[in-house]
Each structure stands twice: as structure tokens, then as C-alpha cells.
Structure 1
């Protein structure tokens, strides 16, 4: 039964009018030159600098073994001259350029240079296109001539030279990877590496039932994102309401404390006034005693004198 299914899938692949490819990667990774290698001529502008040549999605067509191939080159990810929103908007446009949808996302990485930003590339792809995009992704390593410097095959390089984050990225892509030597001058060898990539792309198409990444998948992803955003919005509204209620409660408590403090100050002031008044009366009393005391003594002596007479 599986053999029959494979034959059906192969028939679907052979009946495809064209093979649709999306190139995604950081500026300077060899993304555009890889697209040119697939096409067989220089259609996309490429540059070794870190300044992105590609600002908008570009589409080109070619043929490999008589089979039409459509390639879309996307803006360089993490380009400092473009916001992530602008990059994502351009990436989304490639769906309409490759209607009804791409067969594969080629995530282009350079041998020997795996930056922290590139470790998050797959997450950005899934953020822009949804989790299903992971099933349609192949990692394409460029600058394959460096493998000769290491004296390693691609598999050996991954095993011995790639860190855990790079290995995880490859694993998340189903261990689907290929390598291009962009400096290769021999026409036959260049053709062999392109043909090998096409075969791996066909394997991806076969694994996905002969289908491609469709706009329906994108719409489903957008629907889920909208649901998440709506849920987040509701949670934020609830949180804001709780904060406002807490703020009102705090203001009420503060007002009560303020009233209590004012009342306490008033009582203290009144108590101080009473004490000052009492002290004033007491001082006046003793002052009067001091003044009239001698007079009473004199009167007492006079009374005593009259009594003796």
C-alpha cells in the first residue's frame, strides 16, 4: 500500500507545472547567489556585504531538467534598515507571488557563521507563516568550499562543529539540509548540487502528500493569531479593570488615611491650645499670688495687733 501511495505522490510531483521555492536568510548568507545557482544564471543581485541588496520580494523562473522552477528571494532577515514588521510583510507577499503556495522554504545559513539571530530564524518563519511552515523547510548551507578546509562532509561538520542550538535548528527542520559551494566553477558539479537540492525538495513535497504550503494554512495561522490577540486583549482589559478597581480602592484608603490624619492633627492642635490656655491661667494665678501675697501678710499682722489691744 505504501508503494502505491509513493507512486501516487510521485505522479502528483511530476504533474506539478512548476516547483515553487522561497529563499529566507540573513543578509550576506549567500541567499541570492543560491537562488541564482538554482536558476542557472544571475537573476538576483547578490553582495558579500552585510547591507541587504534585496529590499522587496523578487521572483524569477528557470528550468532544471526541463522542469520549471519558480524562486522568490525575500528581504534579508534582521536587516537594520528594515523593521521586523516590514520584513514580515514582504515575506507574506511571497505567498501571492507563488500561488497557490510554495513547496519549500529554503533557510539559508553560511558554513562556519551561525549568529544568535539566525538561531531564531525558524521561529521567525513560523511566526510569519505559521507552525506548518516547519514541515516545508530545508536548511541550505552555503560556502560549502569551507568544508574542504575543515576536511569534513556536511554530516561530519554538523556533528563536530555545530553547537547544540544549530543542531536543534536542524532537528526542528526534520534534519533536512543541503550544501552549496557557491564558488564552484565546474558546470557539472554545480548542476549536481542543484539536482541534489531538487531531489530533497521533491522528498519534502512527497512527505507533505504532494502538496504545498497553501494560503489556507496561512489564513488558519492568522485566525489562530487573531484568536490569541483577542484573548490577550481581553486579558489586558481584565487586568486594566482590576488595576482601576485596585486604584480606586487605594485612593479610598488613602482618602480615609488623609481624613484620619487631618482629624488627628486637629485634635493635637486643639489639645495643644487647651494646654497652653491652662498653662497661661496657671501662670496668671501664681503671678497674682505673688502680687497679693504680701498684702495678705500685712493684713494678718494688723489683725493680730488689734487683737492684742
Structure 2
């Protein structure tokens, strides 16, 4: 029944809502989460839950592996370790940003670092998840408007490279219909990514530890 499994890996900067988004995806408090500038998640962790039709969703929550203070060496090894957590590989990499925070150099470096370490193909597996949907709603704003009018060119370039696979999450909502709508949009994009990659997940052999370590040393 492995074909019913969906394996997602959450990456992003500390404080942008990775763990909270993982909890929203799974529909339960599986990961420790709190607004903080220091990472609550210390080691990568895999949790799972059920989606429609009996589909099992495996979510890997990573520490702030792209926090610049930790270095690219740490990021590379931790991402490889995450990919090895699932025998099937990763179906989608969910890059988490927050509309509450100014788009920073750290966030800009996430996609670039992924590409340097694992090749440009990694973008074909990437989905952008923006947290802070409640803030945009309070301002009577939309994600589309935010990305068009309130974001820097560097973020617009990332959105374009990911073929506009963007979803907005309100991790504070208690509305079951909103939760279902958010998950529906995300899973629709996951299925789009799977289809675009011929159903083949991102496997460890595409980013062997030796290759990654060589790139780290060159960098």
C-alpha cells in the first residue's frame, strides 16, 4: 500500500511556522510549536496522519537547518538524513515562509542552497507554504496580492521557479472547513508535483552523501 503514502518534508527558517504547519497538515499536535526565534525542533522528526481515501501522510519536520549560524554543512547532512527517513523517498519538499516576517537573506538562501546541494531538479519537488493567513485575512488581503505587491523581486523569482505552487495556511483557525480547504489545496499541489515527476519521489540516490559532502567542501 506504499502507493497510498505521501511523504512531505518541511524546511524553512526558524520562526516561520514549520512545526505549526506540520500540525495543521496532520490535524493534531504532533510537533512542538511556539512562536520563537530559537528552534523548538532540535532534531528532524517524522509523524504521520490519515488523509481522504485512507491515504497516509508522512510529515518530516526539520530543525532550522537553513539558519545561517548553523552552516551549510549541517543543512546538507540533515536534509540527506531526512530523505533517508522514508524508504520511498520524498514526494514534495514544502518550503515554509511567513507573511508576518520580512523576507530575509536567510529565506532567500533556502532555495539557492537546495539547488546547489541537490541540483536544480529539487525545485520540481518544491511547494511554497506561507503561514500567517489569519493576518492577511484581518487586513482583507490575499496571498496573490501579497506576492504581487508586498514581496521583493527575490521572492517573486522563487515563486516563478516553483511554477506558482503556493498555498496559504492559517494555523490558528478553528474552522474545520478552512482546515479542509487548506489541506485540499496543499494535497492538490502535492499530486501535481507527483504527476510532474512521473510519480517518482525524490530519492537518496539522487543526492548521495558523497556528492553532497563534496559540494559542501567546495563551498
- Specify if TM > 0.5: yes
* Cα 1:103/1:229, change in 2 over 3 Å: closer
Query: Are residues 1:77 and 2:65 paired?
Result: yes
Query: Are residues 1:27 and 2:14 paired?
Result: yes
Partner of 1:121: 110
Q: Between Structure 1 and Structure 2, which shows a larger proportion of strand residues?
A: 2
User: 1:146 Cα shift?
Assistant: 1.7
Matches within 5 A, 1:100-115: 100-113=88-101, 114-115=103-104
1:165-207 Cα shifts (integer Å, max 9, x gaps): 1101111112111110111111221122112111111011011
User: 1:47 Cα shift?
Assistant: 1.6
* Cα 1:157/1:80, change in 2 over 3 Å: closer
Partner of 1:208: 197
Distance 2:49 2:92 in 1: 16
Distance 1:190 1:176 in 2: 18
Distance 2:87 2:118 in 1: 14
User: 1:149 Cα shift?
Assistant: 3.2
* Cα 1:129/1:55, change in 2 over 3 Å: farther
Task: Check the 8 A contact 1:28/1:48 in 2, yes or no.
Answer: yes
TM score, norm. by length of structure 1: 0.65
| Aligned-CA RMSD value | 2.3
Q: Which has the larger radius of gyration?
A: 1
User: 1:16 Cα shift?
Assistant: 1.3
Partner of 1:36: 23
2:112 match: secondary structure? helix
Q: Between Structure 1 and Structure 2, which shows a larger proportion of helix residues?
A: 1
Partner of 1:169: 158
TM score, norm. by length of structure 2: 0.90
